[in-house]
Structure 1
Amino acid sequence: MAHAEEEEDDYLAMSFDDTLSKPGKETSLQRTTRLKQEAAKRGRVLSKKELADKAKEARETALATQLDASNKGAKMMAKMGFKGGALGKSEDARTRPIEVLMKDDRGGIGMDSDKKRKIREAAAELEGHQKRRKVDEVEYRERTRFEREEKRASGQMWSAMRTLEGFETGEVDTGNGGKDCKEPDAEQDGTKAQATAKQTPLHLINILWRPLVKQRLEKEQERRMRYDLDQSLTSRTDYEDPDADNDDKFALGTAVEELDEEDDELSSFEALSPAERLESIIEELRGKYNYCFWCKYRYPDETLEGCPGLTEDEHG
């Protein structure tokens, strides 16, 4: 009964901590638990941060430790005047040892510097490419805007040139007393101008609309040459009949040699920008015929009363 009355161990309520805390012989369960814990500690590899922290802690501990007077190195430094602190006489002398950088890869000496150099070069190249791209975009927009303005000014120039030609050849009524003037049609203009060109040498025509006559003669020459080629005429275009008049020569295409002659005045005029040529033609229309190209109106007198100005912007 005494043995039965002794307190028995309640294995269901026991924990590992309670088992390990009890003195005495280590049980098999305790031994297995202990071996697992030790194996886990031995097998875990410290991370780079943990290794760096551990090395820093050891370095700080060593720096905080005073040199023993019996140390041979301390004795040698004391003989040379070292009393502690930094080495050297300069104010910014080093007080901490140079840190050792451990390599954890197979790269050769200087490979890290080469990698950094390549990264810097790649970054500089990328930055330069972005700058060039930005400049290219600005230049492209500027070039596109300039080409658009040049094309628009060129169209206005040819229109003003046809108007001036119409006034001077009679295509446009010059005695309308201030009524609106209709510009000659680009497809149907030149009826009287062609007759004028046949009767007047090209170099004697007003320089402000001479390019229009030259362009028309070149088109006629090309049309005649294609017609001759299609019809397979036996008459050669380089043959000149001494008895043929100017109209016959023009019809046969032998009178266009005049286009090949040098015309310095025309070359200088065509060297100007379309906007500059347009400005000259507009001034001629205003000064000679009291006509405003932008208003599309011929005023009664040279004052052009009511005209907003000389430029298109002034006309809104």
Structure 2
Amino acid sequence: MSDDEEDYMSDALLTQIQDVKPGVSMVRRVKQAMKKEAQHKETNIKNRQKSFKEQEKESRETALQSGISNENKGFALLQKMGYKAGQGLGKKGAGRVDPIPLNIKTDRGGIGMEELKKRKAEEELQHYRQKVRAKQQNEAKSMEDFRSRVRTEREDRKIEADLRRSQRSCEQLDSQNGITAPSEEWYWPKNNAEEEVDEEDGPNEEDEEDEAVELTEFDKLHILTSYLRGRHFYCLWCGTTYNDEDDLCSNCPGDTAADHE
């Protein structure tokens, strides 16, 4: 037996396995010993790494808190040029006083990654603001369109009501002056019987020609009020029949509803 080989019955081998209970197989004992050794090594490595990081942090903080000594060559050159400790850099001393702060990198991103992230975040924020601004503009436009539509509908209803009033006034004044038929069919309001007859007869050639030049409610109102003023010296907005044209022009504010507001 050579010197390098240990006797399996030697005291050294028995010392290594003395804590192992009798009856446990050799393979199991070897595996347990290897596992304990690996765990011990891993614990030592972690402790060493932790100590190294702590030491690095402490040394960095100590260096930042302490000023540059006179032994520093760069500081010595500054002093020769007239610089004093605590003074700002530059000819007039208006430059930086404190050193540039350190930016410790803790992630694995490459150089320029932080700027890229900031730029991307700013672009996303700008895009979000544009969406919010566009949404607000659309909502404001929709509200304005709604208000305009409501205002137009209200004006249309008022024009229609004024036209019905002017038609009734025209029929009454024409009848009082011996006129038995309106100058235009729509000058007088239609009664229910006439409306039923028109619906039963259906459209004819004359109706089709009228549809081609059909007047709006606003046009009819303007024409009819002008007729009442010129023929009967009557102002729909004043509700008064004047004596003559001079009396009408002198006492009536105007020929539109806006003039009477």
TM-score computed with the length of structure 2 as normaliser: 0.49
Structure with higher RCO (Cα < 8 A, 6+ apart): 1
- Flag the structure with higher helix content: 2
TM-score by length of 1: 0.43
